[in-house]
Amino acid sequence: MSSNFSALAIPSTKTIETEPQSHPLHRNASDREHGIEHDPPISDKIFKSGPKMGSYKLGDSTFYSLIDNYANLGDFKSLEKVLDRMRCEKRVVVEKCFVVIFKAYGKAHLPEKAVGLFDRMAYEFECKRTVKSFNSVLNVIIQEGLFYRALEFYNHVIGAKGVNISPNVLTFNLVIKTMCKVGLVDDAVQMFRDMPVSKCQPDVYTYCTLMDGLCKADRIDEAVSLLDEMQIDGCFPSPVTFNVLINGLCKKGDLARVAKLVDNMFLKGCAPNEVTYNTLIHGLCLKGKLEKAISLLDRMVSSKCVPNVVTYGTIINGLVKQGRALDGARVLALMEERGYHVNEYVYSALISGLFKEGKSQEAMQLFKEMTVKECELNTIVYSAVIDGLCRDGKPDEALEVLSEMTNNRCKPNAYTYSSLMKGFFEAGNGHKAIEMWKDMAKHNFTQNEVCYSVLIHGLCKDGKVKEAMMVWAQMLGKGCKPDVVAYGSMINGLSNAGLVEDALQLYNEMLCQEPDSQPDVVTYNILLNALCKQSSISRAIDLLNSMLDRGCDPDLVTCIIFLRTLREKLDPPQDGREFLDGLVVRLLKRQRVLGASKIVEVMLQKLLPPKPSTWTRVVEDLCNPKKVQAAIQKCWSILYC
């Protein structure tokens, strides 16, 4: 059933390439040298004129062969000449020929040419267009990523008068896929529900496509419910169906339901394949369940599913995230013994992990091994090494790696330069860090928000607040939006320079920014500390109130700032117990039990026990039946996995 998408048919920003030239086989060597082109010959001798045989003529099959050949070569100029001649001789051009040409246009990334020829089929060649040719053109547009254009084409053809094309299951599958791609999941669901009206029953691909769209829209429950629905309707799930749902649940971290789904998969006679195991292993690694992931790897092998590069790469990444980069390196060695070769992303993850764990020698050894093995050393790998050396306090060595990188014609990026700048600032060589910044500008590298943030932070740390403010103005002038780190660095620099009012003004600007640039607890602590140092305790309390109102919970640093202030700035001094107790109560009133619990922890560490009434309130909130039940359910979920 057609839907009206005319309002969604926005122009595509993707450029449609121009038609390629005719195939070079039709030009002799001399002509090619002088740039002379000749029309490809279609000799009369290869055709036999004769009487009509039904609606066909002798020689039609030769034309069809020419169409096949020219389409395979991508020679569209010759194709047009063949079509022109067939039209002039009033020969029949069957739909199959047009489908061949549409596929050729798809390979050449010429979707609009396909649309134009589809429109000409009826009035120029008197060829009846069916759903087969329509689906072919629709698929060409979709494969090019022109999703709104595809919806516009669907609406134009299916909704047009005099075009007797009824969509089939493939049509619905293509349109549902397209809707999901552009986030029109509700429309996709509606089209799915309307399929029976068009006397089309969804197939397993329809269900898989819609499930995938629902999972990506974070509507996992609806996607899982479709599994039961499809079986009731007599459509049996395939391994791909289960893989889509398992992937969605793994990304959500719902491993308990994943386990049940795998059991269901076996009950339905669907054996897990490599994709299933890879998805499960990835999900377990995301949740930090590395031992279970490795155990599943053994099960995968025993099930005669061969682990591939993706499988081992996932395990290595999981080990790195758990701070076990050396174990990851051992897995890499095992892979290579078995003839597997990992990509540069796995190598860069391992190198970064080793550096972060303080194993710089092992990281550099792995980097050297890559060179010996003639592995591809690209921007990602070089940047990982440069960042690691800078973290290890060796920015000069990192600079040598940058030189090697550029000599190997590998282009550095913003991350590469920001790592070097940060490394030189941390090493106390701000002059060299600024040189890196200038080098970026000299070589026309994009200086993004991260680079500006690193530069501003470094300048403020060196006490060069005026220079930092100039860079800030330059950043805004170039249209770069500061993130919370950049704001925090600038606010900290201004506060340390005694320019607290300017820092507060910048804070007020933050409140008007996007959600990812809103003040965090670090920003608030910088300002609270600055105000308390100035003995502006009432203003600090006002800022704390604003912090609570905006949903930002105090942390240990916040508590220490106020405890020190109450002890040092008041006469007589206060131990801060009353203050923190009141803070706990205020958080509980706002239903922020976790934040309140953290303050209670601080109070106990500082030997400042809460009041009995506060204790009662904390216990009541923590022991809320619904919360207890949720905690029990979470524990069972962990045990089940």
Per-residue pLDDT tens for 469-483?
Answer: 999 999 999 888 888
Angle of helix 379-391 relative to helix 395-407, nearest 10 degrees, comes to 170
Token pair, residue 125, equals 């060649």
Residue 130: the pLDDT is 92
Residue 112: the pLDDT is 94
Compute the average pLDDT of residues 488-494.
93
CB burial of 383-408 (b: ≥16 within 10 Å; e: otherwise) equals: bbbbbbbbbbebbebbbebbeebeee
Angle of helix 556-568 relative to helix 521-533, nearest 10 degrees, comes to 10
Asked whether the beta carbons of 325 and 353 are under 8 A apart, the reply is: yes
Residues contacting 512, CB < 8 A, separation 6+: none
Residue corresponding to tokens 């600079």: 399
Among 624, 611, 561, smallest CA distance to 581 is for 611
pLDDT value at 639 more than 70: no
Phi and psi at 497, nearest 5°, equal -85, 5
Containing 445, the helix (H) or strand (E) segment is none
Token pair, residue 184, equals 């029109």
Residue 557: the pLDDT is 94
In a domain, 625, yes or no: yes
Bigger pLDDT: 520 or 38? 520
| 233: three-class secondary structure by DSSP | coil
Among 166, 248, 237, smallest CA distance to 202 is for 237
pLDDT value at 641 more than 60: no
CB burial of 294-331 (b: ≥16 within 10 Å; e: otherwise) equals: bebbeebeeeebebeebbbbbbbbbbbbeebbebbbeb
Where do the H-state alpha helices sit in 233-342? Answer: 239-252, 255-267, 274-286, 290-302, 309-321, 325-337
In a domain, 414, yes or no: no
User: From the centroid of its chain, how far is CA 28?
Assistant: 49
Annotate 487-517 with three-state secondary structure: HHHHHHHHHHCCCHHHHHHHHHHHCCCCHHH
Residue corresponding to tokens 């003639």: 374
Bigger pLDDT: 458 or 19? 458
CA distance 350 to 356: 10
In a domain, 609, yes or no: yes
Residue 47: the pLDDT is 47
Residue 263: the pLDDT is 86
User: pLDDT digit string (tens) for 121-161?
Assistant: 988 888 889 999 999 999 999 999 999 999 999 999 987 77
Residue 362: the pLDDT is 92
Contacts made by residues 486-489, CB under 8 angstroms, sequence distance 24+: 486/449, 486/452, 486/453, 486/456, 486/457, 487/517, 487/519, 487/523, 488/520, 488/522, 488/523, 488/526, 489/453, 489/456, 489/457, 489/460
What percent of the chain is predicted at pLDDT more than 90? 45
pLDDT value at 298 more than 90: no
Residue 18: the pLDDT is 40
User: pLDDT digit string (tens) for 29-86?
Assistant: 344 344 444 444 455 544 444 444 335 565 578 888 888 888 988 899 998 998 988 8
In a domain, 545, yes or no: yes
Domain count, the chain: 1
Asked whether the beta carbons of 500 and 492 are under 8 A apart, the reply is: no
Residue 19: the pLDDT is 43
Residue 632: the pLDDT is 55
Q: What letter represents residue 615's amino acid?
A: W
Asked whether the beta carbons of 141 and 153 are under 8 A apart, the reply is: yes
Compute the average pLDDT of residues 571-585.
90
In this structure, of 15-19, 70-74, 426-430, the range with the lowest mean pLDDT score is 15-19
DSSP E strands in 48-161: the ranges are: 52-53, 56-57
Token pair, residue 574, equals 């206060």
C-alpha to C-alpha distances, 544 to 27, 521, 530, 554, nearest whole angstrom: 80, 10, 13, 8
Token pair, residue 604, equals 């106990």
Residue 626: the pLDDT is 65
| Helices and strands (DSSP H and E) totals, the chain | 34, 2
Among 575, 618, 571, smallest CA distance to 593 is for 618
Containing 443, the helix (H) or strand (E) segment is none
CA distance 487 to 601: 30
Annotate 193-213 with three-state secondary structure: HHHHHHCCCCCHHHHHHHHHH
Asked whether the beta carbons of 110 and 19 are under 8 A apart, the reply is: yes
pLDDT value at 640 more than 60: no
Residue 586 CB-density burial (10 A; 0-12 exposed, 13-18 middle, 19+ buried)? middle
Residue 340: the pLDDT is 77
Cα torsion angle, 168, 173, 175, 179, sign = positive
pLDDT bracket for residue 219 (50, 70, 90)? very high
In a domain, 581, yes or no: yes
In a domain, 567, yes or no: yes
138-139-144-147 Cα dihedral, nearest 10 degrees: 50
Q: What letter represents residue 384's amino acid?
A: A
Token pair, residue 621, equals 């909130």
Q: What letter represents residue 14's amino acid?
A: K
pLDDT value at 203 more than 60: yes
pLDDT bracket for residue 616 (50, 70, 90)? confident
Residue corresponding to tokens 């020219």: 70
Angle at 42 between CA 36 and CA 47, to 5 degrees: 170
In a domain, 126, yes or no: no
Token pair, residue 311, equals 């499988």
Residue 53: the pLDDT is 37
pLDDT value at 503 more than 50: yes
Phi and psi at 56, nearest 5°, equal -110, 160
Residue 269: the pLDDT is 82
Angle of helix 484-496 relative to helix 521-533, nearest 10 degrees, comes to 10
Residue 456: the pLDDT is 93
Cα torsion angle, 122, 125, 130, 136, sign = negative
Compute the average pLDDT of residues 618-625.
75
Domain region containing 573: 519-640
Bigger pLDDT: 608 or 4? 608
Residue 9: the pLDDT is 34
pLDDT value at 278 more than 90: no
Residue 386: the pLDDT is 95
CA distance 130 to 166: 8
In a domain, 632, yes or no: yes
Containing 396, the helix (H) or strand (E) segment is helix 395-407
pLDDT bracket for residue 13 (50, 70, 90)? very low
